[in-house]
Structure 1
Amino acid sequence: MRHEALAKPIVDRAWDAQLRLCGRYRRLTLHGKHPNVAIVAVARELAGFIWDIARLTPRPVAA
């Protein structure tokens, strides 16, 4: 698997993002939003998930 080397909290957060964003896109399009509008809404939320995962990632210590 691609995420075997990743920490469990990161994998869990990524899976939460996958489920939420997929559901959000489906809900928006089912309620009549244009697909491009739904994609932009999901992309904006994805940026937040990326920030959160980056925050969880340990930073290397400078020598």
Structure 2
Amino acid sequence: MQNDNTTPNMHEEERKKATENVYKSLKKGGVNYFPLTVPKHIQLLKQTGFQHVYVFWYSYMQMGIYGVK
């Protein structure tokens, strides 16, 4: 199929969208994110009404946690 320059090529639209997404991501550069610590998570859950909070698993930057109100 030949592009007659009257309607945008679908691939061109996808490329433009991808380029926009790259620039949005680059704008986030220099922003540091500091995840909450395990004790801070537990503290926040208890402050919001959970009487029992349990960490059943964690490894590096991931954690499995549940609470009982």
Shorter-normalised TM range: 0.3 to 0.5
Q: TM-score, normalised by structure 2?
A: 0.34
Greater fraction strand? 2
Larger radius of gyration: 2
Q: Per chain length, whose mean CA-contact separation is higher, i.e. which structure has more relative contact order (CA < 8 Å, sep 6+)?
A: 1
